[in-house]
Chains A and B, each alone.
Chain A
């Protein structure tokens, strides 16, 4: 599958590239950037293979970009490649987060720092609202899907139910409906 591509990179290269992606990315949109770095710029992976991995990353639980890193690392260098890629995208930013938290606990009693963080949190809600609205626009075509979306929202936000119950009920229900829809659309073999 990789005949036209460059030779597979070493583990250290994989770790370095994913660290770079992890450390310089803010506020989502990471998948697009991984595509650019790994497929377009370095030619480590074909675009089709990347998209197949993206489908895996989005269909199954876990943080999408970490899942995608595992897929790419695995395709490049097997188990250790998957480990190097996932460690690259998680561990360096994690170290930054811990350093920030430690620095923050030094100044945490300052009311002004707390107020500034409040403003940052409010603006950051814009970031996730935007993602949520885009996702809703794509996902909520048709009444059944709209009802699934609305019920999930209400169960978490208004009724404050544990996520385990909400997803445990809504996900199988929604996947079942999608299965019926796809079966009906599919032409007979």
Chain B
């Protein structure tokens, strides 16, 4: 167990816990920036592998953080990173749950909901583009992403099927 690495993981992911808005995908760009750029824990290629693994894992998309922790410091790293991303915001929301019914629908609450929406949308779009920028496969990566976006927007196909197709296309052409 490398305590310095565990401390780094906590210091990187605990703040992200409070910056996660509109679902776990919004912080993917910063997870990439910190793990590949700032801390040099892994290469772009390794990050993409973990990102893909997190997408074929069931459950919240934020499990990407668990995998980054695993890569950096094994099982303890996975546990530390997961605790860092899930616990702080959970404690906050648990505290709010106790008083929430009283405040629901008040103007300030509506302002928070409506104000965070465009920020969250910008974060999610930036996260998608950041992953694509890190992707190998050049034009194929962009084509598969664009096609998958269109199919998912216009049909109700199971997303797992699209992931499998993406893997198959890459195996066939690259």
Contacts and interface: CB of A to CB of B under 8 A. Distances in A.
B23 interface: yes
B49 A104 contact: yes
Nearest to A135: B121
Contacts of B119: 148-149, 152, 167, 170-171, 174
A60 to B, nearest CB: 6
Contact of A122 (B29, B121, B166): B166
A163 to B, nearest CB: 4
A64 to B, nearest CB: 5
A181 B111 CA distance: 8
Contacts of A32: none
B59 A97 contact: yes
B171 A116 contact: yes
Given A121-B135, A126-B149, A152-B126, A86 B166 contact: no
A166 B30 CA distance: 11
Contacts of A163: 16, 19, 27, 29-30, 33, 123
B170 A62 contact: no
Nearest to B145: A125
Nearest to B107: A182
A57 interface: yes
Interface in B99-132: 100-101, 104, 107-132
Query: Quick one: which of A26, A119, A132, A166 has the most chain B CB within 10 A?
Result: A119
B10 interface: no
A67 B89 contact: yes
Contacts of B50: 101
Interface stretch (A3-11, A37-45, A139-147): A139-147
Given A23-B59, A135-B22, A171 B116 contact: yes
Contacts of B133: 157
A60 B120 CA distance: 11
A122 B16 CA distance: 24
Interface in A59-94: 59-67, 70-71, 74-75, 79, 82, 86, 89-90, 92-94
B112 A118 contact: no
Contacts of B41: none
Given A120-B166, A179-B108, A150 B122 contact: yes
B5 interface: no
Contacts of B75: 98
A35 B127 CA distance: 27
Query: Quick one: which of A58, A82, A130, A150 has the most chain B CB within 10 A?
Result: A130
Contacts of A62: 17, 20, 86, 89-90, 92-93
A18 to B, nearest CB: 10
Given A65-B60, A93-B59, A130-B149, A162 B53 contact: no
Nearest to A150: B122
Nearest to B93: A67
B55 A27 contact: yes
B45 to A, nearest CB: 7
Contact of B33 (A132, A136, A160, A182): A160
B66 interface: yes
24 contacts: A22-B59, A24-B58, A27-B159, A53-B97, A56-B93, A63-B23, A67-B93, A93-B63, A100-B56, A101-B71, A118-B135, A118-B170, A118-B174, A119-B168, A127-B55, A129-B125, A130-B152, A132-B128, A139-B117, A140-B118, A149-B122, A167-B19, A174-B115, A176-B115
